[in-house]
Amino acid sequence: MNRSILHIQVLDLQRSPIARANVKVGGASNVQQTSPGNFVVYGLANKTIEVVVEAEGLETEQRQVSIRPGQNIELFILAEKGLPAYRKGNVRVPFRPSIEKLGITVRGKKETQALERWLLEQQISIEKEREPGLIVIQGEAAKNSELAYKLRSLAGVKAVGPVVHYSSEGVAFLSGNIILRTVPETNRDQVEAVARELGLTVRRKLALKDFWLLASEKTDLSLLEECDRLFASPLVVTAEPELAFTVETDDITPTDELVDEQWHIPHIRLPEAWQRLRDANPIGVTPGSAGDLTYGSANLAIAVIDEGVESQTDGSGNVTPTHPEFQGNVSNGQPKMLGFFDFGGMVANNDTPLGSHGTQCAGVATARAENSSTVAGEEEGVAGAAPNCRLLAVQVPSAGTETEFSDIYLWMAGLDPESDTPNFPPVLAQGADVITNSAGGYNPAIWPVSDLMDATFERLTDEGRGGRGTLLFFSAGNANSEFATQRPWANHPRTFGIAASNENDTKAGYSNFGDGIDLCAPSSDSAAGLRSIVTTDRPGQGDLAGHTGGGNDYTDGFGGTSSATPLTAGVAALLLSMDPTLTWSEVRDIFYNTAIKIDFSNTDSNGQWRDTNGDGIADYSNWYGFGRIDTAKAVCVARTLIQLDTPTVSFLDVPEEEPTLRAISFTVQSFRNFTFRVVDGPTTTLGPANSFVLHAGDTATHTGNWTCTASHPRIWVRYVGTNAGDIAQGVATVQCIETGEEFSITFTANTIERPRAAVVLALDSSGSMNDSAGDGRLKIEILRDSAVVVSALAQEDTGLGAVSWDTDADLANATPVGDAGFEVIGAGRAALSSHVGSHVTDPTGMTAIGDAVVAAQSLLNDASSDYAVKAMVVLTDGNETESLYLSELPAGAITNRVFAIGLGTPENIRPAALAQLTSNNDGYLLMTGNVTTDDYFLLTKYYQQILAGLTNTQIVVDPDGWLAPGAKLRLPFYVNETDWRVDAVLHTPFPEVIEYVLEAPDGQIIDPGALGGEPRSRYVIDGATAFYRLALPIAAIGNQDPTRPWHAVLTLNRKRWQRVLEKLEQRKEEYIRAVAHGLRYAFVVQARSTLAMQVNLVQSSLEPGALVTVTVTLTEYGYPAVRGAEVKAIVKRPDGASMSLEAVEGIDGVFEVQFNASMSGLYQVHVLASGTTRLQSPWTREALRSAVVWQGGDNPLPGPSAEDRFCRFLRCLQQSKGLDERRLRELGIDIGAVGKCICSKRRIQKG
């Protein structure tokens, strides 16, 4: 069963919490007092319960309360026994009557003067004319009822009744009417029947559903008894006495020093907001033209209901504003003034405003901008928040009833109140979009909010602005106290209650506060010595001129919540200007989520920020509501921009067989959520059928945000390259579900030959390559065992070449670049394999890496230009000891990619120059360190990884180990929709002794015989490498589930293995390892794939202590991979210890991890990544990198010595005949012997 919460507030007549109250809730024993006068009960069933509230010395009240799902709030007002009371909704409101006083409201100035004369003739004491049109008289309690009856018959008298509230702040009295709310579907006959029983008449059916206005002949407090009897009727929901009450303005008159600038405009970032609106202008709309949004939309109107904005009426009845800021037209040519109406005098002008307050509020909200003055070159006065919006000036009656105010508000919004008041204005053709009210009703009269006003606010926000809701702004008041009882309309859930902050972004000292404040805006704070607000004033009544020689039509002394409220209302008009479709609740949400949390560290019990929704973020303050308005951010967030970025989706130059994704892409900026769906297509209109297919569903979404950040919803479309020269075209239609807008998309595609790669191996043959590698093999043997993998695994169209080098490069015996050809037997493979197999060392050879690089570049230069990618892989085991040094390479000599493998430790090889060369030429350096038996396949893997990277192939998994006789290994790996060709590669010294098959996700087995009918898939054994080369999908097994793994299944054949052991008996160490562990293997899966991992390793130095940064970039079809992948780096340190480091994803698809290389030596970095594709298919990727540091690593790069330069000079002279050797011999100098003596001694040193 759903359980609900009941909040109970208990107040006294002064609206103060009653700390000693006792609350009993039927069926509940867990009533908790949360603060004085505030109680809460949790876990209530949704039913009607009885609530009893009592306090010592006060009258107990009991009430039946219907508990609804969620939050329930009930208000109780207790007073001493015997006081009269009226009802506001479900709340009983006791009061202390002024039984000798009568309140009278009069229509019009002449009628008021006539009434005053009549009262003097009758010798009736006028207590005070409180406001124009309101008179309070002092009578005799016993005779007031008869007097009231007489007064009602006088011309111009609107209402007469006993005073129920009277103080220096205001007056409220019973008007003689009753506001009735009936159950739905009650008709007029039924209401009239109920009324007749009590001697009442039905004055009118109010425009609000189920509301009626009844008239009573009662002129005393017995009217309240009629209300109680009505309330007892089963047809009646509520029966409230209509009160007539005064209003008060919420202005402040600061005493601080005058200022001459509108500091509040930049403070809330209005200029930036205006610029954002200008940027949102439709194409072709220029500043100042009809559709210009810069200063707000000319199609919107703001109503200021206040003391009036002064007008003048000429002899022809034309009404115009007297203030220049409200004269002239807005950008669409319509008058700035939408209209005037004075509801005190019931005339369509504000010729006799009650004061300056309305003009001041109107100026803050909507004074014109950039309007010329009468002085050439000077623009007039000030600017409001929404200068280009129109203004409806409404002069509030000095005193009025709730029925009148309900009618007024409905009328301002362009709704028909169906009023029967004489001279009530006709329905507006254009209602106000925003209404601002900086005048509050006298609190005892309108608090709690009546059923009538509650329904009024609901209708305004449900039906105003064509159903989107009129925005209602009310000032919170300036008494520095709880606002809810003083300004209950500001506390209504459908209105905006605005508090005031100051220019220091702290609470304005006077501003009311409390739970229910919506927002705050900057205003005056004279008590803190801070500035006030500069705005318009009644012409001639201010203290500032708007232009040279002008009248004092402006003031620099405005403030209070009276200023904060129209300022916020003007900003709201800017939000509607940006998007007229915003609902009132969307405007509220934008304000709430963009407001600045000012004074965040305050610890005041009312002012401190607190969490309101349980997300752990403090988002609300009783001082500031949800914060101080930030116009620029709010206006930005209000904008909804939906833009198709790709009306044409082009698949340009797609290689044969390669699947490619492109996106139908939108740019969307909005706080709203949007869904985009393909409703037609994709349809291929030219080329092979079904050339364009949806890849990851037909839908993309934008998730609304409050950060003014655009997203890019993408619907993915897939095209697979067919045959070179093919072209295709297609179409699709995408609809935005929420708006119904449709977008047409065109597809184009063409297929080209697959780009080919060429690679040259530069193999070190210096004398040190005959040294032991550390794993039982010589370095030259490791090279021959490993480099041959390039010839085995190369794609058929990959170019292969090689050159051996030591002191010099052996170009004469180099293998020129040629296509690999078919597996095993292809000409290019055979040539490279032969070169590697015959590669031997020169015992006297030195290490001249520069010569190797130049030779490899020469071979690449001679290779066909059909190779799109060209690269060299330089392997060396020693430090540079001979020219040509890498530091001697001329600029621009190397034009292709360079990779390097160091067979040894950083201390021995000192690869600073190699590291620089590879990083400058789009490659990287790999090092083996001291090779052990555990590193048997390391160099093989290095070569395979480099080759894979050059041919757009990704390493999927890379395990290695030992296979024992009789054991069956199942090695898992994933293949998904991003992969279209897979090599499952087994490296082992004796592949013929392993029974090697693949198991598909559905259990089907692929063995060498299963691929007999597959034209593009095969099983290959080439030397120490066996592999399945699969073109997907494989017809023999069909499509497979990409969410489940494949397996390589390895079994060591016992009989064949026994024959291998017999051969190994002569190699003792190797034999012992084989008997103990079995056959060593490495299993590497590589895939041609559009899910790519790029790894970049950067060192801050080559000295110990360097910071090493590894950046991993993951892409799927060229776009950032799905966020949330896991990436880690397993780092093996020089001392053999390993550490696992988790990489952190910054921007989508980019991960970074760092470590400190504190000790000298090699840091082997193994990068592992895993995640899911856009179709939720798992994937893995692996890569190897090396970081190297050694003492002296940052020293200058090695280069030729003085001796080297002399010998080079001497050889040049000899070769060019620059020396007369015969003449030298005659002088006793043997130049050949000199050369041997000086230049040959280094030859005996190993490289």
Inter-CA distances, 1061 with 781, 968, 991, 993, Å: 21, 19, 14, 11
Give the residues across from 997 on adjacent strands. Answer: 1049
d(CA 806, CA 835): 15
Q: Is the pLDDT of residue 99 over 50?
A: yes
Distance CA 243, CA 241 (A): 6
The DSSP result for 376-442, as a single string, is TT-B-S---SSTTSEEEEEEPPSEEEHHHHHHHHHHHTT------STTPPPPPSS--SEEEE-EEE-
Return the pLDDT at 472. Answer: 98
**Can you give the pLDDT at residue 439?**
72
Tokens 């007002």 correspond to 77
pLDDT interval class at 1215 (50, 70, 90): low
Please report the pLDDT score of residue 1 as a whole number.
47
Q: How many CB atoms lie within 10 A of CB 1241?
A: 10
Neighbours of 935 (CB within 10 A): 18
Contacts by 270-279, CB closer than 8 A, 24 or more apart? 270/385, 270/571, 270/631, 270/632, 272/631, 272/632, 273/571, 273/574, 273/631, 273/632, 273/634, 273/635, 273/636, 274/574, 276/578, 276/632, 276/635, 276/636, 276/639, 277/574, 277/577, 277/578, 277/635
CB 806 within 8 A of CB 767: yes
pLDDT at residue 1057, rounded to an integer = 93
Residue 441 has pLDDT above 60, yes or no: no
The DSSP element (H or E) to which 887 belongs, if any, is none
Please, how many CA atoms are within 13 Å of residue 813, restricted to the half-sphere of its CB?
A: 12
| Ranges assigned E (strand) in 903-1045 | 925-927, 953-957, 960-963, 968-973, 979-987, 994-999, 1005-1006, 1018-1022, 1025-1031
Least confident of 137-151, 485-499, 1193-1207: 1193-1207
Mean pLDDT of 1059-1077: 87
pLDDT tens, position by position, 315-367: 999 999 999 999 999 999 999 999 999 999 999 999 999 999 999 999 999 99
* Peptide bond between residue 287 and the one before it cis (omega within 30 degrees of 0): no
Class of domain 1090-1192: mainly beta
Q: Tell me if 63 sits within 8 A of 74, measured CB to CB.
A: yes
Burial-class residue 908 by CB neighbours within 10 Å (0-12, 13-18, 19+).
middle
Beta bridge partners of 1185: 1165
| CA dist list (Å): 722 to 497, 655, 660, 964, 976 | 66, 8, 11, 45, 20
Q: Is the peptide bond before 324 cis (omega within 30 degrees of 0)?
A: no
Q: Looking at 524, 562, 621, 691, which residue is catalytic?
A: 562
Asked which of 23-37, 169-183, 510-524, 1221-1235 is least confident by mean pLDDT, the reply is 1221-1235
For residue 245, give every residue at least 6 positions away whose Cβ sits within 8 Å of its Cβ, in sequence order, or none: 165, 170, 171, 172, 173, 399, 400, 401, 441, 442, 445, 446
Q: Which residues contact 689 (CB under 8 A, 6 or more apart)?
A: none
Look at residues 925, 929, 879 and name the one whose alpha carbon lies nearest to residue 904. Answer: 929
Peptide bond into 917 cis (omega under 30): no
Which amino acid is residue 907, in one-letter code? E
d(CA 966, CA 208): 89
The token pair at 247 is 């209003």
Provide the 8-state DSSP code for 596: B
State mean pLDDT over 592-612: 94
- The answer to whether the CB of 219 falls within 8 A of the CB of 176 is yes
Q: Kindly indicate whether the domain formed by 757-946 is annotated with CATH number 3.40.50.410.
A: yes
Residue matched to tokens 């970049």: 1096
Name the band, by pLDDT with cuts 50, 70 and 90, for residue 1245. very low
Q: Residues 613-625: what's their mean pLDDT?
A: 92
pLDDT of 1227 strictly over 80: no
Average pLDDT, integer, range 1158-1163? 96
Nearest-angstrom CA–CA distance, 468 and 463: 7
Token pair belonging to 635 = 């206006």
The verdict on whether 357 is a catalytic residue reads: yes
Indicate the domain borders of the chain: 4-82, 98-246, 433-523+559-637, 641-752, 757-946, 952-1089, 1090-1192, 1202-1244
What's the pLDDT score for residue 1211?
A: 66
Strand segments, DSSP code E, in 46-156 are 48-54, 61-66, 71-77, 85-88, 91-94, 98-106, 125-131, 134-138
Q: How far is CA 104 from the centre of its chain?
A: 58
pLDDT at 1243 over 60: no
Token code pair at residue 983: 């090599």
Active-site residue 562, yes or no?
yes
Catalytic residue, chosen from 210, 220, 306, 518, is: 306
Give the 3-state DSSP-derived string for 835-882, with helices as H, strands as E and coil as C.
Answer: HHHCCCCCCCCCCCHHHHHHHHHHHHHHCCCCEEEEEEEEEECCCCCC
Which of 29-33, 77-81, 864-868, 985-989 has the weakest average pLDDT? Answer: 29-33
Short-list 181, 296, 288, 284, CA closest to 237: 181
Instruction: Average the pLDDT over 1227-1243 and give the result.
Output: 64
For the segment 1104-1128, the average pLDDT, to the nearest whole number, is: 95
pLDDT confidence of residue 1000: 96
Query: For residues 685 and 811, what is the distance between their CA atoms, to the nearest angstrom?
Result: 55
| Torsion of Cα atoms, 891 then 892 then 898 then 904, to 10° | -20
Name the nearest CA neighbour of 219 among 283, 285, 152, 145: 145
Question: What DSSP state is assigned to residue 903?
Answer: S
Fold of 433-523+559-637: Rossmann fold (3.40.50)
CA-to-CA distance for 876 and 835, rounded, in angstroms? 17
Mean pLDDT on 421-430: 95
Percent of the chain with pLDDT over 70: 95
Using CA of residue 686, residue 689, residue 690, residue 691, what is the dihedral sign? negative
Report d(CA 1034, CA 1038) in Å as an integer. Answer: 6
| Nearest one of 1207, 1188, 515 to 914, comparing CA atoms | 1188
Pair 358, 306: CB distance under 8 Å: yes
pLDDT digits (tens, 9 = 90+) for 363-393: 999 999 887 778 877 787 899 999 999 999 9
* Residue among 597, 667, 669, 673 at smallest CA distance from 635: 669
3-class DSSP assignment, residue 798: coil
**How large is the average pLDDT for residues 1191-1197?**
90
Q: Is 920 helix (H, G, I), strand (E, B) or coil?
A: helix
pLDDT over threshold 70, residue 1065: yes
CATH architecture of 952-1089: Sandwich (2.60)
At a CB cut-off of 8 Å and minimum separation 6, what does 905 contact?
927, 929, 930, 1161, 1162
Q: Residue 259 above 60 pLDDT?
A: no
Work out the mean pLDDT of the chain and round it to a whole number: 90
Q: What pLDDT score was predicted for residue 1214?
A: 65
**In contact, 132 and 396? CB cutoff 8 Å:** no
Mind listing the pLDDT tens digit for each residue in 6-62?
999 999 988 889 988 999 998 677 888 988 899 999 888 889 999 999 999 999 999
Q: Note the pLDDT of residue 858.
A: 95
What is the CATH architecture of 4-82? Sandwich (2.60)
Which pLDDT does position 443 carry in this prediction? Answer: 54
**629-642 pLDDT tens trace:** 999 999 999 999 99
pLDDT confidence band for 1164 (50 / 70 / 90)? very high
Going from the C-alpha of 685 to that of each of 439, 732, 735, 749, the distances in angstroms are 67, 11, 20, 12
Q: What is the pLDDT of residue 1205?
A: 64
Give the mean pLDDT of 1167-1187: 95
Q: What is the pLDDT of residue 260?
A: 47
Nearest CA to 692 among 664, 653, 655? 664
Check pLDDT > 50 for residue 1244. no
How many Å apart are CA 328 and CA 381, to the nearest integer? 14
DSSP lists the bridge partners of residue 395 as: 306, 342
- Mean of pLDDT values over 1205-1230: 70
**pLDDT tens digits, residue range 169-210?**
678 899 999 999 999 999 999 999 999 999 999 999 998 899
Give residue 248's pLDDT.
66
pLDDT: which is higher, 649 or 1221: 649
Q: How many residues does the chain have?
A: 1247
Asked if 61 contacts 53 with a C-beta cutoff of 8 angstroms, the reply is yes
pLDDT band at 1064 (very low <50, low <70, confident <90, very high): confident
Cα separation, 927 vs 913, whole angstroms: 14
Question: CA 516 → CA 171, 497, 592, 621, distances in Å?
Answer: 26, 7, 12, 9
pLDDT surpassing 50 at residue 69: yes
The one catalytic residue among 165, 323, 357, 1047? 357
Query: Which single residue is written with the structure tokens 């609000």?
Result: 208
Helix, strand, coil tally for the chain in percent (to 5): 25, 35, 40
**Structural fold of domain 641-752:** Immunoglobulin-like (2.60.40)
> Does the fold of domain 1090-1192 match that of domain 4-82?
yes
